[in-house]
Structure 1
Amino acid sequence: MSAALLAAALFGAIAAIQASIIRKHGLLSRPMLGVLVAYLVGWLLHLVAIAELPLYLAQVGVGASLVVTALLASFVMGEPLRREHWVAVAAMVAGLGILAIAAGDIGQSTFTDRTTIALYSVLATVGLLGWLAWRSTHPLAGVVLATLAGVAYGLSPIATRALVDFSWEPDTLATAISIGLFGSLGFLLYSVALNRTSVTAATSPQILLQTAIPAAVGIALFNDEVRDGWWPLAISAFVISVAASVVLCGAETRLDLLDAADVESADT
């Protein structure tokens, strides 16, 4: 859990920096190398969390990155949070606490030919749809890109389970390779989405899908467990945590005001 929260702190801090760099310097720029290094460190911490926790708890823990971003906006950047954002922060903390108590044993981590083929089929589909959305000039293209980024980011931790009991079997090796492919695709789609739409529109579907997809797959396919008698509380805590994430995306968009202020200052 400590690894998940450390990853959340890193991801939360780098989110605002990534948006600012992309809008000022573009996707292919030297400052983006630092962002990539930070994401790699965060992924290693995320890997530790995935190895030790059920996927639903690891993903909600990392999703707490929005709390970090919101608090940075409030205390460091002078962007006061509204009442609903403080309620969302408290709800996220409470949801994480309940999920941590309710979490049971980790399920299996083996992959078969069928699951490996399914992963690569989704990877190809998301890549194709992402290319089409990137080419599109429709006003909702940015939201579509962010949604596809959420799918890619959601499947990356699923594939990461292959590293928990790693072997040199073809299925495990192919699944392990897909981790980097999903992560790179998600990073690219999310970066482009940040340049095509607001941070809220880009982050809300990404956080929702990268949390919900691994949680559902972990329970349905990997048999991740919840403690006996804790299912109602665990489900409620998960829903509350995801809802809090979506609300906090609204606080993250306030960072856009900083970019506008920088432009106005430069003009004057």
Structure 2
Amino acid sequence: MLTYLLAVLAACANAAASVLQRKANRELPSGHGPGPGLILVLLRRPVWCLGVLAVIAGFLLQATALAHGDLSVVEPILVFELPLTLLTASWVFGARLRSREWVPAIAMTAGLAALLYALDPSPGDALTVPWYEWVLAVGVNLLVVAVLVRWGRTGRTRDGTAGGSRSAAAYGVAAGAQFGLTAALMKGAMSRSDQGVGAVVTSWQLYVMVGTGLIGMMLLQAALHSGNLLAAQPGLTLTDPLVSVLWGVLVFHEQVRGGWYLLVALAGGAAVVTAVLVLGRSPLLEQETPDASGTPRSPGGARDAGARR
């Protein structure tokens, strides 16, 4: 029960982080891609720093959850970040949740419960994974992220500047895949917690995790800066748990139930994916961003002098 509670609290922190960081990014001129330059600009904005504190809180909660539970259990619960993001956005941006948000949110809850019940993953063992499997899995994960980033760089708004919905979506999926890798490394480090704090601190996974987490943070900022939450959030929400579950099953050898339970798991998973896609089209995520002149614009780059903040 503690694992579930910690994972839900991590989703709450991540939702707050997404909205706060989006609020900071929407006030910047367009054209910034992923990299340290964008982070240095954002560091001057207090609302973004609050978002970073929320990220750190989510990270610590997730790490504690992974110390007590399996990757295949903890990470799917984090999809609750999306409805929680909508709830937070409705408060920050002064909108109201309607049935189009509440119905899929309830369906997501039911689907996730069915998925976790059907799979009922048994514990894996990150300590027994040989080094070459780590190298291969990390390499494949990073290759996928690199391809997504390359595709995201080709995105353009209607006025020809870098960014737009394609970039936001690609960077969002890349950030999700990178955070999935970070979660796997986090699980590798926290699996040594029974041996004491010293064993965790001296594990190589901990330090690689810090590097991959920073890359994921830069990709997330690029996604939030390139377009609105409507484009960035669904891919981020789905890719992170998907990559994490693949790590849990394929690398850490967490066993899941077969037979008719797979049908229930597929139905639950389909409900979660459908709910995410429906929630991903919510107007609450379609917040406009200003262009270089300060005029609000849509992710496609078209100006709208009458748009409201």
TM-score (norm 1): 0.82
Corresponding residue for 2:177? 151
Moved more, 198-207 or 187-196: 198-207
| Contact kept in structure 2, 1:66 and 1:252, CA below 8 Å | no
Amino acid at match of 1:155: L
Cα shift at 1:197: 2.0
Deviations 1:54-102 (A, max 9, x none): 3232112111011112223446644233433222101111123334444
Cα distance change of structure 1 residues 35 and 73 upon mapping to structure 2, 3 Å threshold:
closer
Structure 2, unmatched stretches of 5+, are: 29-37, 158-165, 291-295, 298-304
Cα distance change of structure 1 residues 119 and 45 upon mapping to structure 2, 3 Å threshold:
same
Are 1:10 and 2:13 counterparts?
yes
| Contact kept in structure 1, 2:16 and 2:54, CA below 8 Å | no
Identical columns (%): 23
Cα shift at 1:6: 0.4
| Contact kept in structure 2, 1:10 and 1:42, CA below 8 Å | yes
Are 1:84 and 2:110 counterparts?
no
Are 1:106 and 2:123 counterparts?
yes
| Contact kept in structure 1, 2:133 and 2:251, CA below 8 Å | no
Amino acid at match of 1:92: M
Corresponding residue for 2:35? none
Cα distance change of structure 1 residues 198 and 174 upon mapping to structure 2, 3 Å threshold:
same
Structure 1, unmatched stretches of 5+, are: none
For these two proteins, the number of residue pairs brought into alignment is 265
Corresponding residue for 1:193? 223
Corresponding residue for 1:55? 71
Cα distance change of structure 1 residues 234 and 123 upon mapping to structure 2, 3 Å threshold:
closer
Amino acid at match of 1:158: A
Q: Which runs of 4+ in 1 moved over 6 A?
A: none
Moved more, 48-57 or 34-43: 48-57
Cα shift at 1:20: 0.9
Amino acid at match of 2:139: S
| Contact kept in structure 1, 2:14 and 2:58, CA below 8 Å | yes
RMSD over aligned Cα atoms? 3.3
| Contact kept in structure 2, 1:52 and 1:106, CA below 8 Å | no
| Contact kept in structure 1, 2:7 and 2:74, CA below 8 Å | yes
Cα distance change of structure 1 residues 250 and 125 upon mapping to structure 2, 3 Å threshold:
same
Cα shift at 1:192: 0.8
Moved more, 116-125 or 19-28: 116-125
Q: How does 1:171-190 map to 2 (within 5 A)?
A: 173-190=203-220
Corresponding residue for 1:211? 241
What secondary structure, in the 3-state scheme, does the structure 1 residue paired with 2:126 have?
coil
Corresponding residue for 2:293? none
TM-score (norm 2): 0.72
Corresponding residue for 2:300? none
